[in-house]
Amino acid sequence: MSTDPLAWLAQLEGVASAYAATRDGIDVMLRDRGLRQTDPATTAEALAVGAHASAVLEGSTSTLADLDAGVGDEIAQDSLRLSTEVLALTPQLKRSPAQVFARLHAVAAATALPPEQLGRPRDAESAQRLQSLGQLVLASTEVPALLLAAVVHAEIATAAPFSSHNGIVARAAERLVLVARGVDPKSLMVPEAGHLALRAQYESNLSGYASGQQRGLHAWALYAAEAYAKGMELSPLRPVKKPRRDRD
């Protein structure tokens, strides 16, 4: 019997092939033989677009232009603030994921909650859920990193371990896993925008995951592969024009 904690999920019908296809597509988009701009400004743009999408999923009514102008509503500002700090936590995710989840909440909720609630689980059960999730991130697994990111996202979003901002934290943690596990080292994907583009499916499949039944977890896994592919399509990566070859 496998000791891989997520092997059973990866073995469900259609999951392995869906993630293999999605990862192939992501790799092609990110590689592209140097034909795409991958400077820090592109990463910053991807983070900003993701912050806006995550905020809208959390209830914000601000536009991306509002965020660019610094006039977004409170949820949008919280999401944007977190996006500017999230990548700095990548090394720590490989050592102490539970602390990273707490830090994500502390940053996101910094202006919304009193200091004693920042980064603190709601109760003992929530604290245990976060510790267990941290152990899962550190566990030896051969399942696709994309699938691990999807599980981390769903676990935080559905367990709601903090008193606020759980969706924003969940999506930031998802992005961190994608970076730390080498799927998207420069954080050029926009998984949050993928979820927003598929919002009805996103919310429905999160509800299914929350049921704890295999059917719901299976559906979430298949949905997330589709959302990641969409998030790659929505990346701000821009192709560099190839030199024109004049005909003889």
> What pLDDT does residue 58 have?
97
Alpha helices in the chain (DSSP H): 7-10, 15-31, 40-57, 64-69, 74-83, 90-93, 97-108, 124-138, 145-159, 166-180, 191-197, 199-210, 214-233
Topology given in CATH for the domain delimited by 7-233: Fic-like fold (1.10.3290)
CA angle 160-166-3, nearest 5°?
60
Dist CA 135 CA 132 (whole Å): 5
Domain boundaries, the chain: 7-233
pLDDT at 247 over 60: no
> What pLDDT does residue 210 have?
97
> What pLDDT does residue 136 have?
95
Assigned token pair, 190: 């926009």
Give the type of residue at 7. A
Say if residue 188 is exposed, middle or buried (CB neighbours under 10 Å; 0-12, 13-18, 19+): buried
Dist CA 140 CA 167 (whole Å): 26
- The count of other CB atoms within 10 Å of the CB of residue 57 is 22
Mean pLDDT of 94-112: 97
Give the chain's mean pLDDT: 93
Dist CA 204 CA 221 (whole Å): 13
Dist CA 77 CA 79 (whole Å): 5
Q: Does residue 92 contact residue 99 with C-beta atoms inside 8 Å? A: yes
Q: Which of 80-94, 121-135, 186-200, 230-244 has the lowest mean pLDDT?
A: 230-244
> What pLDDT does residue 248 have?
43
Q: For the segment 12-71, what is each residue's pLDDT rounded down to a tens digit?
A: 999 999 999 999 999 998 887 455 667 899 999 999 999 999 999 999 999 999 999 989
Cβ-proximal residues to 71 (8 Å cutoff; 6+ apart), any chain: 62
Q: How many CA atoms lie within 13 A of 233 on its CB side?
A: 12
